[in-house]
Structure 1
């Protein structure tokens, strides 16, 4: 299941990140593209040893961890430090599937990916995030601060940028519920519960829905 999160970052948070990125050191992005990186990935990203990187990474991780939509849909156990990516004219990331294990040995299982857009769609041409799903290709080009949360096993790409500069944050999560179908069921029940609360629904019905959600979480989650 794909979740579009409007305004994961506020306007002020986007501005804070942009100011720090202005002075950050960027390096060749193909280094994080796996065995086909040099062939299909052409972009730059903030170098992990850049003085700005750790501060930016901690700032973004704290925001992601506090987001309710992420918590409901991802049920995250661990989240990797993010990548701050830049795509200028001619840059792209061809069709690929992200690695199943990332991070320091033995690696963290990657169940979900998240892309956070850092500039407005009008700031660049091309550069769309394209997910290849069971329902065909889904295309995303969000506003600054918006995010797309999606299963990491999807094949996906970033279309070539033909004008301007695309800035984005990308990271990966290991969920406490590794099966995407089970995560979707738990997320659906949470959405129903949220709607019932908002509309002041029947209390007995709300209790039953929440009981089902929590018991499924208890049954399927690995803490």
Structure 2
């Protein structure tokens, strides 16, 4: 399931982020890829331990915690601390797949990557190229979103970032371990939850139809969730 979440950050927040990021020191991103991925990775990243990366990453996590669409789509159990990258001057990231299991920074805990997220921090008109291309069962989906918008997609998907030929593409990216690891089960829960949310404002709280749908949702989540 591929889900677009608009305005994770508002325009003022994006402006503040860019103020910090445009002055930040960027490092070669090739060293952070997996064995195969680093061979096709040409971009720059912030040092994950830098004050800017930690502060902005925590801001994103707080915003996601208040975002009902993100909670519904991801059912997050763990979130890898957000990272930041920058592409310009022909930089690109060739076709690759994200590692299935990652070590959480500063701990002995691991995270199973069920979902990958890219939060765009550059407006589409600021750069040419830089599409996030995700291979899905319906073909390749090309993603270029407004600054502050985010896309969620299965980490099992092959994906790439096309060369940036003008301007700079700045983004945050991270991974989510969901309470429900199976993408198909998670998609069914998402559809059901969205239906419940759409009906809630128009039906009484004690409406039998609404209660039945809510009951089915929570019983499915109870069956499929791993805590």
Shorter-chain TM-score category? Answer: over 0.9
Q: Distance in 2 between matches of 1:65 and 1:171?
A: 15
Alignment-derived partner of residue 168 in structure 1? 171
| CA deviations over 1:103-146 (Å, ceiling 9, x no partner) | 24562100001101101100000000111000100111000101
Alignment-derived partner of residue 126 in structure 2? 123
Q: Distance in 2 between matches of 1:5 and 1:178?
A: 20
Moved more, 168-177 or 24-33: 24-33
Q: Of the candidates 199, 208, 211, which is equivalent to residue 207 of structure 1?
A: 211
Three-state SS of the structure 1 residue aligned to 2:45 is strand
Q: Distance in 1 between matches of 2:6 and 2:56?
A: 21
Q: How does 1:57-136 map to 2 (within 5 A)?
A: 57-104=57-104, 105=108, 107-136=110-139
Cα deviation for residue 37 of structure 1 reads 3.6
Cα deviation for residue 198 of structure 1 reads 3.6
Three-state SS of the structure 2 residue aligned to 1:183 is helix
Cα deviation for residue 173 of structure 1 reads 0.4
| CA deviations over 1:63-105 (Å, ceiling 9, x no partner) | 1222111110110000001111100021011111000011245
Alignment-derived partner of residue 43 in structure 1? 43
TM-score (norm 2): 0.94
In the alignment, structure 2 segments of 5+ residues that lack a partner are none
Q: Of the candidates 141, 146, 151, which is equivalent to residue 149 of structure 2?
A: 146
Aligned residues: 223
When the two chains are superposed, the root-mean-square deviation of aligned CA atoms in Å is 1.5
Alignment-derived partner of residue 156 in structure 1? 159
